[in-house]
Structure formats: C-alpha cells, structure tokens
Amino acid sequence: MNAAADLPLPVAIVISACLLAGAGLALTGAIGFVRMATFYQRVHAPTLGSSLGMVLILASSILYFSVQRGALVFHEILIAVFLTLTTPISLMLVVRAALSRDRHEGDLSVPPVERT
C-alpha cells in the first residue's frame, strides 16, 4: 500500500475535486489559446486559466501533504508566489514587444503611441 491509500475518504474527495477543477481550468486556458484569433487575444486565456488552476492544484497539494505529515505544509506557497509574480510580468513584456513590432511594421490595427 502507498500513502495515498491511507487518506480519509472526505480528504481524498476534496483533493480530487481541487485537482480536477484546477486541471479543468488549465485545460480551458489551453483551449482558449488555440481558439482565439489574434495574438493579443491569445495571451489572455492561458494566463487567466493557469492562475486559478495553479491555486487549486497547489491547494490540493498543501492539503495532501499536510494530512500525510500530520502538520501544516506551506512550501507550495513559494511556488504560488513565484508564478503569481512572473506570469503577469512575462505577459506584459511579451505584449509590449509585440506592440512595438506591430507599430514598427505599420500595422493599422494597433493603436498608435500616445504622447503626453
């Protein structure tokens, strides 16, 4: 027997529900990435889906390891902080690079630079 077989049934159900919901949200983000038409629409779906999916998956991991070890385990919080900080920053950098490229190429669908 492994350690997962020794989990109480209600805890196993909550962990499974969090994992399935998190995986479903991540899948929704991936499907949104494929279905969206333009680059600027495509960058939103994966970041939104992965953020909430990450929270649910890490919550299930915290619950699982806390029950297994008999004490609260929070090392997954570091993963959440890292992903929460890097995802929006990388999104902004990629979108700004694409805007700069599109403006340089003269794409008329991109708004011009506002000078104040």
pLDDT of residue 58: 93
Predicted local distance difference test score (pLDDT) of residue 85 = 87
Tell me the pLDDT band of 3, cut-offs 50, 70 and 90.
Answer: low
Name the burial class of residue 22, with classes exposed (0-12), middle (13-18) and buried (19+) by CB atoms within 10 angstroms of its CB.
buried
Spatial neighbors of 88 by CB under 8 A, at least 6 apart, are 47
Residue among 93, 95, 91, 11 at smallest CA distance from 51? 91
* Cβ count near 44 (within 10 Å): 15
Cα–Cα distance measured from residue 103 to residue 59, given in angstroms and rounded to the nearest whole number: 42
Q: Domain spans of the chain? A: 3-105
Task: Give residue for tokens 């939103």.
Answer: 44
Report pLDDT digits (tens) over 30-89: 888 888 888 888 887 777 778 889 999 999 999 999 999 888 888 889 998 998 888 888
